[in-house]
Amino acid sequence: MSARLMPTDIKHQYQNDGYVLIKKLFSEPECDELIDRSVTLHSRKSIPGCFHSVSELESDGDPLRIYPRMMHPHRVDDLSLRFLKHPRIVELLRVLLDGEAIGLQTMFYWKPPGARGQDFHQDDYYLRTEPNACIAAWMALDNIDEENGGLIVFPGSNTEDILEMCPTDTSQSFTDAAVKPPDQYVEHLVEMEKGDLLFFHGRLIHGSRPNRSGARFRKTFICHYISADSTNYNKGYDPIVHLN
């Protein structure tokens, strides 16, 4: 799906399937700027509340300990904040949410070769937004496919309530609980090119498998938003970010 799609098409697909892919919303230089900044942040080894990385020797063979995901980089980095508030994202959020959005979190995933995935879940299990679902903006900073652990979605599962989370296989997933997708949903791998952005609904079942590639990272910058008229959300995500 292309950034040139009409707003009504974008909204229709989001409502029907629970996600919509916007091709090449960002250019390669824009992606590279964000990657360069993340490399600079990572070189600090540890930023309280954001990430703590260890050396290869200390990692016990877990690449995610060397390249852990960065939580809320927008709280320590102006460029990450600029992307959270990026006008191209905010304009599309307005279409998808029928109104204004508020920023709740950012994350930067390196997903290095050999890294575990994140088993199936719904984001609102964590964000607990009421009365409407939260929305993720998942931006590809590499070309992403099955081999390097691309995102898997279950189209239409956005109509489900929050489902039960059960213990899962932590040799494959860095999280220890997951939902079992109901039988009527069929998994779909979203192949993405660097600069593509996937919006998805907070009740959509999604996740990823390990990065099986020998040398390809799967870098992504992820933002979560809620409608400005939300009456509740998980206050653990405070402080929220007003986008204007």
The single residue among 1, 81, 222, 240 that binds ligand AKG, judged by CB under 6 A, is 222
Phi-psi region of 79 (alpha: psi -120 to 50; beta: other; left: phi over 0): alpha
Question: Which span (18-26, 77-85, 200-208, 226-234) binds ligand AKG, by CB under 6 A?
Answer: 200-208
Q: Is 225 in the site for ligand AKG (CB under 6 A)?
A: no
- Residue positions counted in the chain: 244
Residues in contact with 174: Cβ distance below 8 Å, sequence separation at least 6, in sequence order: 64, 115, 116, 117, 118
Tokens 């309280």 -> residue: 48
In the complex with ligand AKG, the residue whose CB is nearer, 194 or 206, is 206
Q: Does residue number 158 form part of the binding site for ligand AKG (CB under 6 A)?
A: no
- Label residues 157-189 b or e (16+ Cβ within 10 Å = b): bbebebbebeebeeeebbbeebbebeeebeeee
50 and 105 in contact (C-beta within 8 Å)?
no
Select from 106, 129, 158, 220 the one that contacts ligand AKG (CB under 6 A). Answer: 220
Q: Contact region for ligand AKG (CB under 6 A) — 25-33, 87-95, 183-191, 205-213?
A: 205-213
Instruction: Kindly state the smallest distance separating residue 174's Cβ from ligand AKG, in Å.
Output: 9
Place of tokens 């960065």: 70
Closer residue to ligand AKG, CB minimum distance, 79 or 222 = 222
Among 117, 181, 195, 210, binds ligand AKG (CB under 6 A): 117
- Judged by CB under 6 A, the residue of 19, 67, 83, 109 near ligand AKG is 109
Is the Cβ–Cβ distance between 69 and 107 less than 8 Å?
yes
Which residues of the chain form contacts with ligand AKG (CB under 6 A)?
Answer: 109, 117-118, 123, 151, 206-208, 220, 222
